[in-house]
Chains A and B, each alone.
Chain A
Amino acid sequence: MKPPPFGYHGPATLGEALDVLAEAGPDGKVLAGGQSLIPLLNMRLAAPAHIVDVNRVPGLDGIEAGPSGVRVGALARHAAVERSPEAAAAQPLLRQALRLVAHPVIRNRGTVVGSLVHADPAAEMPAVLALLGGSVRLASRGGEREVPASEFFTGPMESALRPGELAVSAFFPALPRRSGTAFHEVARRHGDYAVAGVAAAVTLDEDLRIAAARVACVSVGPVPVVVDVTAACGPRPAASAGWEAAAEAVRDRIDPEGDIHATADYRRHLTGVLAARALRDAASAARGEES
């Protein structure tokens, strides 16, 4: 198990990286953390002609947290974002989800933006971006564009990234006041991709009734499946909300496939259970913020 040969490029600046990517076109692949790409290379499931290693490019490892949300640079490792108190304060769902990404040792090297571009429908980060309505900033020699999550994930392991483009950062918006989030998943082994998983966000009104509730589900579709369950939840008081109607709405909305890990029915059942759990915890967190 060794990677196939490739042309290695280690650009020292962003401009140089974009030049190399422009020349390589569809034959070029960006290497950041490598925790998804290098296994694919080792198993020879991918054989790009050119690897553009951006690890030496300065200025890409930023984590900028503010009242509007968190912007995460292409070289910000999972572990760095997970440990950032500023990021956790601005958008708690980041840390909640990052704790479920692979193992701590993988998170020391893997990057948040890399997880987004890899676009695995079983992964946590795409679901987080989709749930929050975040975006990915793509740079190329011609300029930059900001692609919303709803347009970024186009299929299993496929994103809107075009040849010659580099995902330089991603933006995870903050939620309004009186909001809470949670992420629950079930995996067969610690650190594995989830059989099913649900990220939830709940926002309460001034009387602590549910004003908005939505979930993003992993491993049940070609891309993260976002379901708005506000109608099934609201506007009841969060403290006494029953989440079964919301779980039912989620089960109706998803169309999972069966594989060797789980049948489609089991995935659907599991997603409903996890949705109820995640919504309940998100609502608790939203109430906690108010008190």
Chain B
Amino acid sequence: MNETGHHVRLTVNGVVREATVPGRRLLSDCLRHDLGLTGTHVGCEHGVCGACTVLLDGEPVRSCLTFAVTVDGHEITTVEGLARDGELSPVQRAFTECHALQCGFCTPGFLCTVTAFLRDNPAPTEEEALKAVAGNLCRCTGYQNILKAVHRAAEIQAEEDR
């Protein structure tokens, strides 16, 4: 079957990117295959694992449950867009400091989820932090260090905002 190509124009990490994709191209695959941004990881491809989480107009969404053509014209932030001027973001630094990753497969999804969460809730309780990451699976860490990193990132952000 010859599939119709759809022209999409996305602003990814502040840069306008264009691609021609079939209607069924998942945003996750568009980012990875068409745009070469392989930082976004693809795990379960049915919305359970959270590895593919990116920010769509600032809000975290599953890129494997979104068609690229649907978000034509919108802004996407991937894990590649979290660092500023070569310096890791507070959330990225906290994950490094707290040893909140081992194999790293789930990390891009956690980083995007936590970045948006702390923007909306800069000083979360233990319970709130737990709920915030409950939609992301990690098979290595046992989550304890990820939770530490959420709170450490909140501290770093508070320090930097002072």
Residues of A bordering B, CB below 8 Å = 1-8, 10, 31, 34-35, 38-39, 41-43, 51, 53, 55, 79, 102-106, 108-109, 190-191
Contact = CB atoms under 8 A, between A and B. Distances in A.
B53 interface: yes
Given A42-B26, A105-B50, A105-B62, 15 more contacts: A5-B3, A5-B24, A8-B23, A8-B24, A8-B69, A34-B66, A39-B47, A39-B65, A51-B23, A102-B47, A104-B135, A106-B47, A190-B134, A190-B135, A191-B134
A34 B26 contact: no
Contacts of A1: 45-46
**Which of A2, A38, A51: most chain B Cβ within 10 A?**
A38
A103 B135 contact: yes
A79 to B, nearest CB: 8
A34 B65 contact: yes
Contacts of A190: 131, 134-135
B131 A53 contact: no
Interface of B: 1, 3-4, 6, 22-24, 26, 29, 45-47, 50, 53, 56, 59-62, 64-67, 69-70, 113, 131-132, 134-135
A128 B13 CA distance: 39
Nearest to B2: A5
Nearest to B21: A8
Interface of chain B: mostly helix, strand, loop or mixed:
mixed
B53 A2 contact: no
Given A43-B46, A53-B67, A108 B61 contact: yes
B60 A105 contact: yes
Contacts of A106: 47, 62, 65, 135
A165 to B, nearest CB: 21
Contacts of B64: 38, 42
A51 B4 CA distance: 13
A107 to B, nearest CB: 10
Contacts of B59: 79, 108
B134 A38 contact: no
A53 B70 contact: yes
A43 to B, nearest CB: 6
Contacts, number: 91
A108 B60 contact: yes
B135 A7 contact: no
B111 to A, nearest CB: 13
A37 to B, nearest CB: 9
A8 to B, nearest CB: 3
Contacts of B45: 1-2, 42
B157 to A, nearest CB: 20
Contacts of B61: 105, 108-109
Nearest to A108: B59
Contacts of B134: 103, 190-191
A39 B29 CA distance: 15
Given A103-B135, A105-B62, A108-B59, A10 B24 contact: no
Nearest to B137: A189
A143 to B, nearest CB: 28
25 contacts: A3-B24, A4-B24, A7-B23, A8-B4, A8-B24, A31-B70, A38-B65, A38-B66, A38-B67, A39-B47, A42-B26, A42-B64, A79-B59, A103-B50, A103-B134, A104-B60, A104-B132, A105-B50, A105-B60, A105-B61, A106-B135, A109-B62, A109-B66, A190-B134, A190-B135
A41 B148 CA distance: 37
A51 B59 CA distance: 24
Contacts of A79: 59
Nearest to A77: B59
A91 B158 CA distance: 37
**Which of B62, B65, B113: most chain A Cβ within 10 A?**
B65
**Which of B3, B45, B132: most chain A Cβ within 10 A?**
B45
Contacts of B56: 108-109
A105 B109 CA distance: 11
A108 B67 CA distance: 15
A35 B23 contact: no
Contacts of B135: 102-106, 190-191
